[in-house]
Chains A and B, each alone.
Chain A
């Protein structure tokens, strides 16, 4: 049995998870997402990452970005390397991808601020 703290929402439920006859038994969760989190955490932990990309615009030298869907935890630093290669040269805003399907992981790296579109 393993104890986990759920990171899905601020409730931070204390979860207990164990494998029985090839099935994962999760307890302590207050919602369905907690169960999914616990099972993923035991099999293939996933995370969202947020960072910034550089721009050519002096009023906003960096622009916040995040991955559009979760990526495998062990690939975080690989994705960071890709994010750090980006230089934004055109005006873009919230939701616009700066990298599509990063490293083939099925996640886009998307902009999370429309600061460049402000007058």
Chain B
């Protein structure tokens, strides 16, 4: 059996960044990817706009990810392609992985795991559409695969349900390739994609956007012939009198992405109902010690730049964790009392000062510190990481959050025990547009049992 410090599952932008970052720390790294090529979904995202934050350039998806693939290869990091992980187990502080590939069943061992499994599109079965099961109903990502990787046109006259970014991008792409996009129907009163995509993908091509509308039924035997669309009321229920039939040969769905965490769930990792990704601390470590999460598996990002960033942070933290775990004999491995999870880390220096109650956590530093969950009020959809390890002194942490509703002028606030410790003003906060903060944890000044809250306060009159 091959042994590694860090095994990364997933060879997309998050996994590649994690692998490079763990390798930079000196860890022995293996990256496992189920497809034949590295790059993940970016292989088919041929539109530009990637890398503006990171490289200050507008790159296409392949250009962006190939920069990472290049560095990955330069560093001679090991990878297993066309390899699918079927089982993961944690035993005696290490992880045992079983995978299948063309050589048969493989087994690997690692001290730390990074789950960079990305996300999955919601399908027609996850939205309420009645009718037959004709060909021509597909997700936007499937349509993108057909057009951009296989060079095949899956649509002639099409209707798009959902205003997610991939749907908007595909509306433009299919139009450029000669399809007629009849309209984008969005059940919510606001678009879910980025405003700039509404402008450059729909408005530029005079593609109508129908807000508060949905597709209620599909028609056709064999091939789709039409869909039924309807306006919805404030409870998102279709209004009977507004139903009408639109003739089309394809229905493209862009109705949301869900972090892929089947592997995480096998390990018993607790997921956040809001992000659908694991609960993580500021080192992107999940509640199963030694397991890290990043990229779209952690929460669905709108910019790949931040996917790479969380990959880098998770990869570095995983490497540090693996090194700290090395020096630990089994006698030093302690069980935390509250949740029964193994920490697998040595307690050093001031690490123990917050006691051994549930909610302990261990960061890249190897210290064991108090862990506090950030409470989020109704003004936010979520904040990632959801937990903080405090007590490690001066340390920078990156946060990602999304506002629940559009706010013209507002202030993001962190409070500790009711006292404001951080505020930042924002203009035009929008649910589809994720915000990022980088803060020194020392500003929290929290003690065990402290209540940390995050919220967006609307400014009066805004």
Asked if B447 is at the interface of the complex by the 8 Å CB criterion, the answer is no
Nearest CB in chain A: distance from B403 CB, A = 14
CA distance A6 to B194 in the complex (A): 11
B1 within 8 A of A: no
Number of interface residues of A (CB under 8 A): 29
Contact assessment for A113 and B60 in the assembled complex, using a CB-CB cutoff below 8 Å: yes
Of all chain B residues, the one with the shortest Cβ separation from A45 is B204
Tell whether, in the assembled complex, residue A115 and residue B199 are in contact, meaning their CB atoms are under 8 Å apart.
no
Q: Is B196 an interface residue (CB 8 A)?
A: yes
Q: Which of A1-20 contact B (CB under 8 A)?
A: 4-7, 9-10, 12, 14
- B314-351 Cβ-contact flags toward A at 8 Å (1 or 0): 00000000000000000000000000000000000000
B60 adjacent to A50 (CB under 8 Å):
yes
Residues in A whose Cβ lies below 8 Å from that of B148? 52, 62, 64
Q: Are B150 and A64 in contact (CB under 8 A)?
A: no
Residue A101 at the chain B interface, CB threshold 8 Å:
no
Q: A96 vs B58: C-alpha distance in the bound complex, in angstroms?
A: 17
A residues within 8 A CB of B66? 94, 113-114
B60 pairs with A12, CB closer than 8 A: no
Convert B296-323 into 0s and 1s, putting 1 for each residue whose CB lies closer than 8 angstroms to a CB of A: 0000001100000000000000000000
**B460 contacts A by Cβ under 8 Å:** no
Q: Please pick, from B48, B63, B149, B195, the residue contacting A5 in the complex, using a CB distance under 8 A.
A: B195
Cβ B37 vs Cβ A10 within 8 A: no
A6 near B58 with CB under 8 A, answer no
Which residues of chain A have C-beta atoms less than 8 A from B200's C-beta?
Answer: 7, 47
Give the tally of cross-chain contacts (CB within 8 A). 84
Known: A51-B176, A64-B62, A118-B37. A7 touches B46 (CB 8 A): no
Contact partner of A10 (CB less than 8 A), chosen from B52, B59, B176, is B52
A50 in contact with B46 (CB, 8 Å) = yes
Report A102 CB to chain B, min CB distance, Å: 15
Q: A5 to B196, Cβ gap below 8 A? A: yes
Q: Kindly list chain A residues whose C-beta atoms are within 8 Å of the C-beta of B177.
A: 51, 80
Nearest CB in chain A: distance from B205 CB, A: 9
Determine whether the beta carbon of A10 is less than 8 Å from that of B48.
no
Is B47 at the interface (CB under 8 A from chain A)? Answer: yes
A114 to B62, alpha carbons, bound, how many Å? 8
B196 touches A112 (CB 8 A): no
Do B52 and A66 have beta carbons less than 8 Å apart?
Answer: no
* Given known contacts A10-B302, A51-B176, A52-B148, A66 and B60 CB-to-CB distance under 8 angstroms: yes
Identify which of residues 67-122 in chain B touch chain A, using a CB-to-CB cut-off of 8 Å: none
Chain A residues in 8 Å Cβ range of B61:
64
Give the dominant DSSP class at A's interface: mixed
Given contacts A6-B196, A64-B60, contact A80 B176 (CB under 8 A): yes
B 197-237 to A, binary, CB cutoff 8 A, 1 in contact else 0: 01110001000000000000000000000000000000000
Cβ proximity bits A62-88 to B, threshold 8 Å, 1 near / 0 not: 101010000001001100100000000
Task: Please give, as numbers and ranges, the residues of chain A lying within 8 Å of B405 by CB-CB distance.
Answer: none
Does B375 have its Cβ within 8 Å of any Cβ on chain A? no
B314 CB to closest chain A CB, in angstroms?
A: 23
A54 CB within 8 Å of chain B: yes
Q: Which residues of A contact B128 (CB under 8 A)?
A: none
CB distance from A115 to the nearest CB of B (A): 7
Contacts of A113 in B (CB 8 A): 43, 46, 60, 62-63, 66
Inter-subunit contact A10/B150 (CB<8 Å): no
B241 interface residue per 8 A CB criterion: no
Judge if A39 is at the interface, Cβ distance under 8 Å: no
List residues of chain B with CB within 8 A of the CB of A92: none
Within 8 A of A (CB), among B36-58: 37, 43, 46-49, 52-53, 58
**Among the listed B37, B47, B147, B433, which residue makes an inter-chain contact with A12, where contact means beta carbons less than 8 Å apart?**
B433
B461 adjacent to chain A (CB < 8 Å): no
Q: Does A61 have its Cβ within 8 Å of any Cβ on chain B?
A: yes
Is the CB–CB distance between A49 and B176 below 8 Å?
Answer: yes
Q: Which of B59, B149, B204 contacts A62 (CB 8 A)?
A: B149
Contact of A52 among B37, B53, B58, B151 (CB under 8 A): B151
Chain B residues lying within 8 Å of A76, measured Cβ to Cβ, are 176
A64 nearest in chain B by CB position? B46
- List, in ascending order, chain B residues with CB within 8 A of A36's CB: none
With A47-B200, A113-B60 in contact, is A10–B46 under 8 Å at CB?
A: no
Q: Which residues of chain A from 38 to 53 have any CB-CB distance to chain B below 8 Å in the complex? A: 47-52
Q: Is B126 an interface residue (CB 8 A)?
A: no
Question: 8 A-B pairs, CB-CB below 8 angstroms?
Answer: A4-B199, A7-B200, A10-B196, A66-B46, A66-B48, A77-B176, A113-B43, A113-B60
